[in-house]
């Protein structure tokens, strides 16, 4: 089991002013990441200025700059001091966005990327490998990213894949990464996401080769999220 897992909450599209204030009160020592809706980014940065919590965005526009009403570009994130962005979450893929264009915008501005991959439904080992490799293939060579393995059928459903299944996915991602990153011999960091809570987190972490979690639903309850942190570190 990894000794200091990366733990990141994805607050999705939930009103989260009160949730952020609760995190500020509860989380004074443990480093965690919170991916907040765009309008809360600056508030969260100010709230967590003296805290171990870091703040990231949940997505970014495919466009660089200009007349694109309601969109938020990588340049804007950089301008307001946001250093990390989630790219390719299945809930954004569903809207038909150009994930590669978003990724290139984020990397072009020097943002750190958490890149999501994961099959939509339960499938055989070979099909799953091909699906993951195809999703990974949009990452440019020697690209520094954290990969979040999130089987779509596990997100928000309470269903966790078998540990052997998660480990196979980790192997596929590691092998792909090794073959496509000649300048970096370090293994890529891989998070697991999908129905993680305070009850299952320790076992999933201890039985698999992941480096941490990307947590949706449970991250809306700061006390519960802090329990996850306590159980995993
Ligand atoms: P969940 O979401 O923890 O609610 O399953 C995970 C995610 O979408 O990142």
Backbone angles phi, psi at 2, to 5 degrees: -60, 140
Banded model confidence at residue 1, pLDDT cuts 50, 70, 90: confident
89 is catalytic: yes
Model confidence pLDDT, tens digit, residues 85-129: 999 999 998 888 999 999 999 999 999 999 999 999 989 999 999
**Residue 156 near ligand 1, beta carbon < 6 Å:** yes
Both structure tokens of 18: 């009160």
**Residue 217 near ligand 1, beta carbon < 6 Å:** yes
Model confidence pLDDT, tens digit, residues 37-61: 999 999 999 999 999 999 999 999 9
Both structure tokens of 81: 């001091």
Distances (CA, A) of 135 to 90, 218, 219, 225: 11, 26, 26, 29
**Residue 215 near ligand 1, beta carbon < 6 Å:** yes
Among 202, 118, 212, residue whose Cα is nearest residue 157? 118
Both structure tokens of 221: 């309850």
Among 82, 94, 1, residue whose Cα is nearest residue 41? 82
Cα(165) to centroid(ligand 1), Å: 18
Burial of residue 121 (CB within 10 Å: 0-12, 13-18, 19+) is exposed
Neighbouring CB atoms inside 10 A of 165's CB total: 18
Banded model confidence at residue 182, pLDDT cuts 50, 70, 90: confident
Q: Could you give the percent of the chain with pLDDT greater than 90?
A: 91
Q: What number of CA atoms fall less than 13 Å from residue 111's CA on the CB side?
A: 32
Distance of alpha carbon 94 from its chain centroid, rounded? 16
Q: Exactly one of 89, 109, 119, 165 is catalytic; name it.
A: 89
Q: Given this model, what pLDDT does residue 184 score?
A: 76
């Amino acid at each position: 089991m990894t000794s200091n897992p990366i733990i990141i909450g994805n607050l999705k599209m939930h009103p989260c002013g009160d949730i952020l204030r609760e995190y500020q009160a509860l989380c004074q020592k443990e480093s965690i990441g919170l991916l907040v809706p765009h309008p809360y980014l600056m508030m969260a940065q100010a709230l967590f200025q003296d805290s171990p919590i870091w703040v990231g965005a949940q997505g970014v526009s495919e466009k660089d700059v200009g007349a694109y009403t309601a969109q938020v570009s990588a340049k804007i994130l950089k301008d307001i001091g946001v250093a990390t962005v989630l790219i390719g979450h299945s809930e954004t893929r569903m809207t038909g966005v150009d994930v590669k264009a978003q990724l290139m915008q984020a990397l072009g501005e020097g943002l750190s990327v958490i890149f999501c991959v994961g099959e939509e439904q339960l499938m055989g080992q070979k099909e799953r490998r091909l699906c993951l490799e195809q999703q990974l293939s949009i990452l440019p060579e020697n690209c520094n990213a954290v990969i979040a393995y999130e089987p779509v059928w596990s997100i928000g459903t309470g269903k966790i894949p078998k540990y052997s299944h998660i480990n196979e996915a980790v192997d596929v991602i590691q092998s792909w990464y090794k073959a496509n990153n000649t300048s970096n011999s370090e293994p890529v960091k891989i998070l697991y996401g999908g129905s993680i809570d305070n009850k299952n987190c320790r076992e999933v972490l201890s039985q698999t080769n992941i480096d941490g979690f990307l947590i949706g639903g449970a991250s809306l309850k700061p006390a519960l999220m802090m329990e996850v942190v306590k159980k995993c570190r």
